[in-house]
Amino acid sequence: MKKIGILFGKERSFPEAFVKRVNQIGGKEFQAEFVSIDKIFQAEPLNYAVIIDRISQDVPFYRAAMKNAAITGTAVINNPFWWSADEKFFNNALAEKLGVPVPKTALIPSYEQPDDTSDQSFSNLVFPLDWEAIFQYTGFPAYMKPFDGGGWKEVYKLNDKEDFFDKHSQTKQTVMMLQEEIIFEEYFRCYCIGGKYVRIMQYEPRNPFHLRYVVDTPPSSKKLLQTIENYVLKLNQYLGYDFNTVEFAVRDGIPYAIDFCNPAPDADVASVGQENFDWVVETSAKYAIERAKAQVDGRDNLTWGEYIKTGATGLPLIGKPTVKKVPAKPAAAKSNTAKKEAALKPKKTAAKK
């Protein structure tokens, strides 16, 4: 029997429902439980085929434990190595390269210098920055937020440059990003599981937290929903996330990806509503079993996105590689001596692609 574990923090409704559903459909082959850790030794497994990770972003001990589990063969959802490296500003840059619309966004250095640094640590940074060019690029009103944050923490709406400098002075050592405001007619939050299962949910971020999934008007068109689904799939397949949400603000019929670095997205029944909750429980349970079936001990069972794959194999980020054909040269006749030397050389085998 293969074990499927879930690692979590304060939340209760999703972990409990997830374990119950896996055990209902897993039969004798798969069993789900809350992950239990009483010790972590290097390169020793936790004996889970799959672990759904919902908390290691906030607990460094858990993040290190998940990397250790991954190297022993556990399929950790989401990949803890990529999750450790990823951040929101990079996400926007990748989206732009993929042709997914995003707000204009600039990276802003922290107001205070990081600990153990001095003025000399910033020899390559021009002071003052070209603030006028930055403000012209994003425009006002704009939003300032941490470049790698989440949970609506330290998010500021700014009306002008004076407002920016005032709020920026309060951000201490947090690296921020300044982002164009998208005044939207529609807003959507989308679950994506396994890079293939998508749940598009109407969402109103201006409502109180418990009412954000309560929207009275239907989506404007099926074409818009199809475009959003295509963008969700592309982003998650390139990022390599197994469990993520993507948010879109629709302006003039164009869906702008606002936030898509949410690898531990809210899945509480009290906030997402019963129908969305039932979908995410059912889909994540089935996907965890899929991954458990495919899991092989002693092998890397993590998901690696297309961004990493193309970089590792030297392929272009998008599209097919261009191969230049080199005209074949006529083979020269070999002398008897050359033939004998060639015969003595070890044979080379072509590497499989």
Q: What is the tens place of the pLDDT at every residue in 245-294?
A: 999 999 999 999 999 999 999 999 999 999 999 999 999 999 999 999 99
Q: Token pair for residue 122?
A: 């910033």
| H helix count then E strand count, the chain | 11, 12
pLDDT at residue 153, rounded to an integer: 81
User: In CATH terms, are 2-80 and 104-180 the same topology?
Assistant: no
Residue 225 and residue 236: Cα distance in Å, rounded?
Answer: 17
pLDDT at residue 321, rounded to an integer: 56
Residue 199 and residue 190: Cα distance in Å, rounded?
Answer: 5
Q: Would you put residue 240 in left (φ > 0), alpha (ψ -120 to 50) or beta? A: left
CATH class, domain 104-180, is alpha beta
Sheet holding 156-158, edge to edge: 105-108, 176-180, 142-146, 156-158
Q: Which has the minimum average pLDDT: 16-25, 70-79, 318-327, 336-345?
A: 336-345
Q: Which has the minimum average pLDDT: 69-83, 112-126, 171-185, 313-327?
A: 313-327
The neighbouring-strand residues paired with 248 are: 188, 257
pLDDT at residue 320, rounded to an integer: 65
Tell whether the model's pLDDT for residue 82 goes beyond 80.
yes
Residue 72 and residue 44: Cα distance in Å, rounded?
Answer: 7
pLDDT at residue 209, rounded to an integer: 84
Neighbours of 155 (CB within 10 A): 13
**Backbone torsions φ then ψ of 122, nearest 5 degrees:** -115, 40
Mean pLDDT for the chain overall: 91
Strands 2-7 and 30-34: parallel
Q: What is the tens place of the pLDDT at every residue in 174-205?
A: 999 999 999 999 999 999 999 999 999 999 99
Residue 235 and residue 246: Cα distance in Å, rounded?
Answer: 9
Distances, alpha carbon 92 to alpha carbons 10, 77, 89, 164, in Å: 30, 22, 5, 21
- Angle, helix 306-313 to helix 222-239, in steps of 10 degrees: 50
**pLDDT (average), residues 113-132:** 96
Q: Token pair for residue 59?
A: 């607990």
pLDDT at residue 337, rounded to an integer: 46
Q: Which has the minimum average pLDDT: 7-21, 97-111, 317-331?
A: 317-331
Tell whether the model's pLDDT for residue 328 goes beyond 60.
no
**pLDDT (average), residues 6-31:** 97
pLDDT at residue 257, rounded to an integer: 98
Q: Token pair for residue 213?
A: 């999934």
pLDDT at residue 351, rounded to an integer: 40
Helix/strand/coil for 125: coil
Q: Which candidate, 15, 13, 87, 12, places its Cα nearest to that of 51? A: 15
Q: Token pair for residue 148?
A: 């790698």
Distances, alpha carbon 2 to alpha carbons 192, 282, 299, in Å: 24, 19, 15
Domain boundaries, the chain: 2-80, 104-180
The CATH topology of domain 2-80 is Rossmann fold (3.40.50)
CA dihedral 276, 271, 244, 81 (to 10 degrees): -140
Residue 128 and residue 236: Cα distance in Å, rounded?
Answer: 37
**Contact status, residue 191 vs residue 265, Cβ threshold 8 Å:** yes
Confidence of residue 349 (pLDDT cuts 50, 70, 90): very low
